[in-house]
Structure 1
Amino acid sequence: MVLISKLSLTLLLALAITIPPLSQSKELKETYMSFYVNDYSAGPNSTVAAIAGIPGKQWTVTQFGTIYITDDPIMDNPDPNSAPIGRSLGTYVTSALDGLILHVSISVVFTAKEYMGSTLELQGAYKHFERRSEISVVSGTGQFRFARGYATFETYSWDPNTAHAIFLWNFTVLHYHSSNTNNMCGDHWV
């Protein structure tokens, strides 16, 4: 038993010596991005849907306990006919008793341009009736490994007749980026 403990300690010490710390192998970057999220909450091409709620209550965005799932296209401009650069995948839960706050858990999955294959993870309280609301960036993958920061959500346009909303999302993100990866961190899409 003592031999196994000494071997384990020796192995851990060897790994600690041979693996460089993250701060030595990566460079911390700050990236600013802006893009537009198209949200269709009704019709045959709906990208958001209520999937659960309190029994006996109407499932609406202002009803406490209503859960939504979303798969919204992300564009680099407000034109809904432009080519998507990613998807906003996740859930919204009306978590405030008064219906004014949603808890969001969203994965921004990039499918085009220089961030293709990377993700940013968002989580927090979204005050959906305020002009501007802030959400935490809690993680990321690919070019956004170890990301942290914040995103602001603003309503760019809303058409009640078609239930189509366009949101402007602005990101400020700190993340580690390998110095030998060829990308354009720090550039704006918009």
Structure 2
Amino acid sequence: MAKRSHTSLTKLSLVLFLLSVFPCSSKAYHDRLQLKETNLTLYFHDFSSGPNATSAVVTGIPGRVWSYSSFGTIIFADDPITAGPNKNSPQIARGQGIYATASLDGANSQILYSIVFTNQVYNGSTLEIQGRVLNFDSVAETAVVGGTGKFRFASGFATFETVSFDVTLFYSVTRCNITVLHY
């Protein structure tokens, strides 16, 4: 019994020694773990018709109209994201994901979206957006639930607001404001 107690004390002494040599409260360690806040404004360009469509209805409830405001409709998207509202603005990311109309009255959707950055500053990083969006609100808000690359451990929120919609081309521009905390 005494030998076992001696071994435990030796291990405890070693741990205490290592903590004194490599303190967890060092400035470098502390700075590395400080949360950063990043605020972004991005513009999604969605073409929902034509040969270069960036979103498409893929399924819905048989016998019902498949539309953004019809329960059970599922839409996939791969939209270009630019730094400004003009479609000729520099592309900085892609918005890739799915949204499904999730309420019987068509008032809200469930979205799962990845913002995949392609610009120099955040190239290869992603932000993951998930949650309920009210379809008919002028500004919709949802959660940022994660990220990769420069946005590891991201959490925050995103708001979406339609800036313009061309009914003849089925082309819309949506402003997305994002606030995230990340390491």
CA contact 2:69–2:135 (8 Å) conserved in 1: no
Query: How far apart are the structure 2 equivalents of 1:38 and 1:135?
Result: 19
The one of 43, 48, 72 equivalent to 2:79 is 72
The one of 165, 169, 177 equivalent to 1:162 is 169
CA contact 2:57–2:75 (8 Å) conserved in 1: yes
Residues 31-70 of structure 1: pairs in structure 2 closer than 5 A: 31-70=38-77
1:120-179 deviation line (CA, Å, top 9, x unaligned): 000011112111010100000000000000000001101111110000000110001xxx
Instruction: Give the unaligned 5+ runs of structure 1.
Output: 1-9, 177-190
In the other structure, the counterpart of 1:139 is 146
CA contact 2:151–2:182 (8 Å) conserved in 1: yes
In the other structure, the counterpart of 2:5 is none
Query: How far apart are the structure 2 equivalents of 1:100 and 1:47?
Result: 23
Query: How far apart are the structure 2 equivalents of 1:112 and 1:104?
Result: 24
Query: How far apart are the structure 1 equivalents of 2:39 and 2:110?
Result: 24
TM-superposed CA distance for 1:83, in Å, is 2.7
The 3-state SS of whatever aligns with 2:105 is coil
Max Rg structure: 2
The 3-state SS of whatever aligns with 2:98 is strand
Runs of 4+ in 1 over 4 A off after TM superposition: none
Query: How far apart are the structure 2 equivalents of 1:159 and 1:30?
Result: 35
- Identity percentage of aligned residues: 46
CA contact 2:84–2:90 (8 Å) conserved in 1: no
Query: How far apart are the structure 2 equivalents of 1:54 and 1:29?
Result: 44
Aligned residues: 162
Worse-matched range after superposition: 24-33 or 133-142: 24-33
In the other structure, the counterpart of 1:87 is 94
The 3-state SS of whatever aligns with 2:44 is strand
Query: How far apart are the structure 2 equivalents of 1:67 and 1:82?
Result: 29
Residues 168-179 of structure 1: pairs in structure 2 closer than 5 A: 168-176=175-183
Query: How far apart are the structure 2 equivalents of 1:126 and 1:170?
Result: 14
In the other structure, the counterpart of 1:4 is none
Scaled by the length of structure 2, the TM-score of the pair is 0.83
Structure with higher RCO (Cα < 8 A, 6+ apart): 1
Query: How far apart are the structure 1 equivalents of 2:135 and 2:87?
Result: 21
The 3-state SS of whatever aligns with 1:115 is coil
Q: What letter matches 2:137 in structure 1?
A: E
